[in-house]
Structure 1
Amino acid sequence: MARGAENRKMLGKLAVVAAGMFTFGYALIPIYKHICELTGINILALGEKQVPGGSTATGNSQVDTSRTVTVEFDANARGPWRFHPEKASLQVHPGQLATVMYEFENVQDRTMAAQAIPSYAPRQAGPHFNKLECFCFNQYTLAPGEKKQWPVAFVIDPKLPKDVTTITLSYTFFEVGSKTPPAPTAKAPSQEVGG
């Protein structure tokens, strides 16, 4: 019986130690935050609190506010559907994040899969036009009459040549997996074959 009493006493001690460790673990979080605030160590961990001597909102230091670039949006549809941007143009500073929405509607009586291909004018602007999110990254399937809106989030690289003040972002939306209608061409005069 003495052994059973010793085991219960040891179990009680272990339970107290486990509860103490558990409490100490939870207490470390506010203690750590308080120590960091007092010492200024790990200032990024302050999160929503204002950093002493700092501003409440940090801006992107790579935005070139001395320049403005006009971005024109163009949409071409190779097939019977509606496809257009929400706005014709937008003025942005190089380095500034901007977003524009495009709307697509399948006006056909059948389901279709489609994808958009971007192009840029002038051509030298292409490498400096960085899309972070774009519907052109994927193919989409739309049911008959289905309408979707997709964003294009982009940043123009501040290294864009200074003489480029306007960029045209053009998308051509075409059907995938079926015969794409040919591009319109000028017809040559027909010649009769004589015998």
Structure 2
Amino acid sequence: MKAPLILASASPRRLQLLAQVGVVPDAVEPADIDETPGKDETPRLLALRLAKGKAAVVAARHPEAFVLGADTLVAVGRRILNKPADETEARAMLSLLSGRSHRVLTGVAVFAPGGRVATRLSETRLKFKRLTDQELDGFIASEDWRDAAGGYKIHMRAGAFVTDLSGSFTAVVGLPLYETLGLLTGLGWRA
């Protein structure tokens, strides 16, 4: 009997991305952990720590399962842009990203039966065009900024703002598929 796969995430985008490549988790069990960055924690280290922490919480309850955890964040230098709480925060974030480069970091962790663990970090560099006031107003009105790190979802309206992308598109959506499948199969998971 094959071990079940549990997605330790509430993200509908992660579930959709996995489905695109024929991976359907046996269960979805989000983990609630403290996501506050440590004093000198870089965005790269934070993304990995959060992915591993989420997977660890669920793996402790299901040691017989493969548990997949992930966390995506947007960084401008060392500054982390979380999910905006309101329109004012969303506007400030998009104004900051307008006409400049930023990074999207997605940490992925897989816990396998027997206590084996593997992690990967995907770093994608993007540049946004300079946004006009009209574009910014339209974007804010669309509410595409809700529930999105950095205040945008690349697979929706904000995709039209991207002038350059180097790295994994699916990582920006929420899960780097190449890296994720490599971790799962490397630890012995089979569909």
Say yes or no: TM over 0.5.
no
Q: Which has the higher strand share?
A: 1
TM-score (norm 1): 0.29
Q: Which has the larger radius of gyration?
A: 1
Q: Which has the higher helix share?
A: 2
TM-score (norm 2): 0.30
